[in-house]
Amino acid sequence: MFTELGHFALALAMIVALIQASVPLIGAQRNNPAWMAVAKPAALIQFALVALSFAALTHAFVTSDFSVLGVYQNSHTAKPLLYKISGVWGNHEGSLLLWVTILALFGASVAAFGANLPPALRARALAVQGMISIGFIAFILFSSNPFLRIVPAPGQGQGLNPLLQDPGLAVHPPMLYTGYVGFSMAFSFAVAALIDGRVDAAWARWVRPWTLAAWTFLTLGIGLGSWWSYYTLGWGGWWVWDPVENASFMPWLTGTALLHSAIVVERREALKSWTILLAIITFSLSLLGTFIVRSGVLTSVHAFAADPTRGIFILVLLTLAIGGSLTLYAIRAPHLDGGGAFAPISREGGLLINNLLLTTAAATVLLGTLYPLVTEALDIGKITVGRPYFDGVFIPLMVPLVALLGIGPMLAWKRGDLQGALGRLKIAGALAVVGAGATMAIAGVSTTALGAALGFTLALWLAVAALLEWGGRIGFGRAGAWARFANLPRSAHGMTLAHFGMAVLIAGIAASSAWRQEAIQAMTPGQSVDIAGYTMTFKGVVEQPGPNYSAAHATIAVSKGGREIAVMNPELRTYTQPPQQTTFTSIHTTGFADLYAALGEPQGDDGLYVTRFFYEPLLPFLWYGVILMVLGGFVSLTDRRLRVGAPRRVRVEMPGAAPQPAE
């Protein structure tokens, strides 16, 4: 009965979304306060109904109600409770319902906490949000219904894909979706501004917290997904330019550009049209990611569905959303006020170049992701675009971007002094050169060492530059530094954390890419292998039962200098439902490097097993960098200025002074 209630609530939510999408929009056009006021209760009611629907589906999974088709296909009574819950979004239908739930949550948040928004802007933004809800709720109800029943009900389910039965994958999709869907709010504000025909500092101040929240959660979601890939799949890597990895990375790149561009609109009322376009592009890429994952046009370890009907439905939604918003942009953007002028050498100029590099990088990733699909559709043949392409086009764009990240914050608004900025960065430049020289001295002159030296140069440059800029703001080492630290806006602290985190991440990538060591071999109990100064001794394998699997549990002793320092226990798990084998890796970390062990297939009956060992120098720095970036985002979100509308600039005329034009 609760399942039917959830289905009915979702249908009611679509009716409410229709009201939300139409009545406030007409009210804003007619300047009717009563009709505009409908937006708030409609958004709150829609969220309540969608949340009830999601709760009903969760209840079906937790109680193992196998009369529901999705539960039967993705759950089992032997599964631990955590994976019964994560099974809700571990499939196509449930993941879309989670998508819509988060979408409704963002709309309800604007309705509940947007009292300082102009009524017309809030009404239009929530109306656009309602339009997005209509499309996806219709998609769920008509082609991806999670509440379909099976009669008679089976006695047992088929279970969840074992790769998804992992704590990281239980948290990764909600975080990723919060990032994806969070950009819908920036999109809705952008479309509302185009309809209204006005973009100003106050608009940017209202857009920034939603964009920042989406960017922070998307960063966290991508980081969790990369971490899961690293420790679960058993191949020792953390990024492979998989199509679905790319689908989440593209909106992250343009979302980063949007976040910086909104700052320029807020501070200088410049780059208005560019910021609106970035908001549209970022959410469009989020929708494209949904299409890639759920249409089946590209295969991936992450992909859920290969139903062409669903793919066509999403493609229609994609066309309407992107085509409609870009058409509106083409009509209205030329009439937007151009905003404040600035010199090429200025903070605004630096942020503009930053945005151009980020969007170009996103375009190259998009091209590499979709090119195989296009060539196949045109019957040119099947072409695989892999790491050589992505590394070859992406890294050259990132080098000037990271260099600019150190210089940009040192420049003044409107007109900057490049020579003065570089003068303040002498220490950063000197340390970067020393770091490059030390890398070459230790590793020698080779292609690998050159790549690592470049990575460490950029990492040191950015890290020291971020600290110097932050120290300059608070007057570090001078009287009153603590008071200036306490009074500095939290967004400034957040920016420093995020930029420093990026530097730490770059150092981790550079070291692990250059000096990663790998050993693959077949071993019998008692045999040893040396890797990076460590001795890995294979002690054997025993069978151990799990809650819904049996495991070949290996014991590997790790010693260095003749002294045992750790015991690693990788497993080869065989799940009962569905019957499938997966690896469970074991990682020993020093905080500066990882030792990584994975157990492969047995080779006969004499205890011979394939083992894979990896030494990953500085790879933990990658996760530290992600944590610092996410922390920077959350610290910035606590800035009180992001919860208060920006005041409108008004020029005050002094008595007897000549009239002056407004800025």
Overall domain count for the chain: 2
Location of structure tokens 């370890």: 301
Does the pLDDT at position 409 exceed 60? yes
End-to-end CA distance of the chain: 62
pLDDT of residue 156: 85
Query: What does pLDDT average to over the chain?
Result: 87
Q: Of 18-27, 246-255, 403-412, 613-622, which gets the smallest average pLDDT?
A: 403-412
> 205, 226, 197, 268: which is closest to 28 by C-alpha?
197
Distances 375 to 245, 370, 379 between C-alpha atoms, Å: 21, 9, 6
Phi-psi region of 31 (alpha: psi -120 to 50; beta: other; left: phi over 0): left
Q: What's the CA gap between 616 and 618, in Å, rounded?
A: 6
Angle between helices 272-295 and 308-332 (to 10 degrees): 170
Percent of the chain whose pLDDT exceeds 70:
93
The three-point CA angle 418-392-401 to 5° equals 20
Residues 6+ apart with CB under 8 A from 549: 162, 573, 574, 575, 576
Average of pLDDT values for 408-412? 87
Does the pLDDT at position 300 exceed 60? no
Q: Of 127-136, 212-221, 293-302, 592-601, which gets the smallest average pLDDT?
A: 293-302
Does the pLDDT at position 282 exceed 90? yes
Element (H, E) at 550: strand 549-560
CATH of the domain at 136: 1.20.120
Q: How confident is the model at residue 308 (pLDDT cuts 50, 70, 90)?
A: low
Q: How confident is the model at residue 303 (pLDDT cuts 50, 70, 90)?
A: very low
Tell me if 221 is assigned to some domain: no
Residues 6+ apart with CB under 8 A from 23: 35, 38, 39, 42
- List, for residues 25-63, the tens digit of each pLDDT value: 999 999 999 999 999 999 999 999 999 999 999 999 999
Q: Which residue has the higher pLDDT, 196 or 15?
A: 15
Q: What's the CA gap between 471 and 481, in Å, rounded?
A: 9
Backbone φ and ψ for 296, nearest 5 degrees, come out as 85, 5
Residues 6+ apart with CB under 8 A from 453: 435, 436, 439, 440, 443
Q: How confident is the model at residue 496 (pLDDT cuts 50, 70, 90)?
A: very high
Percent of the chain whose pLDDT exceeds 90:
51
Tell me if 320 is assigned to some domain: no
Tell me if 4 is assigned to some domain: yes
Backbone φ and ψ for 166, nearest 5 degrees, come out as -155, 140
- List, for residues 74-102, the tens digit of each pLDDT value: 888 888 888 889 889 888 889 899 999 99
pLDDT of residue 22: 95
Tell me if 556 is assigned to some domain: yes
Tell me if 611 is assigned to some domain: yes
Domain boundary among 116, 144, 161: 161
> 237, 240, 188, 235: which is closest to 210 by C-alpha?
188
pLDDT of residue 7: 94
Does the pLDDT at position 310 exceed 90? no
Tell me the β-bridge partners of 614: 518, 596
User: Which two tokens mark 536?
Assistant: 């890995």
Tell me if 127 is assigned to some domain: yes
Whether the bond between 617 and the residue before it is cis, its omega within 30 degrees of 0, is no
pTM (2 d.p.): 0.91
Domain hosting 552: range is 518-617
pLDDT of residue 643: 60
Q: What's the CA gap between 317 and 397, in Å, rounded?
A: 32
Pairing label, strands 571-576, 549-560: antiparallel
Burial class (CB in 10 A: 0-12, 13-18, 19+), 266: buried
Backbone φ and ψ for 347, nearest 5 degrees, come out as -60, -40
Sheet with 586-589, edge to edge strand ranges? 517-523, 609-617, 593-602, 586-589
Residues listed for the chain = 663
- Choose from 290-294, 534-538, 635-639 the range with maximum mean pLDDT: 534-538
Tell me if 59 is assigned to some domain: yes
Tell me if 197 is assigned to some domain: no
Residues 28, 120 contacting (CB under 8 angstroms): yes
Average of pLDDT values for 647-653? 45
Angle between helices 387-407 and 347-377 (to 10 degrees): 170
pLDDT of residue 662: 39
Q: Which residue has the higher pLDDT, 601 or 587?
A: 587
Average of pLDDT values for 343-365? 91
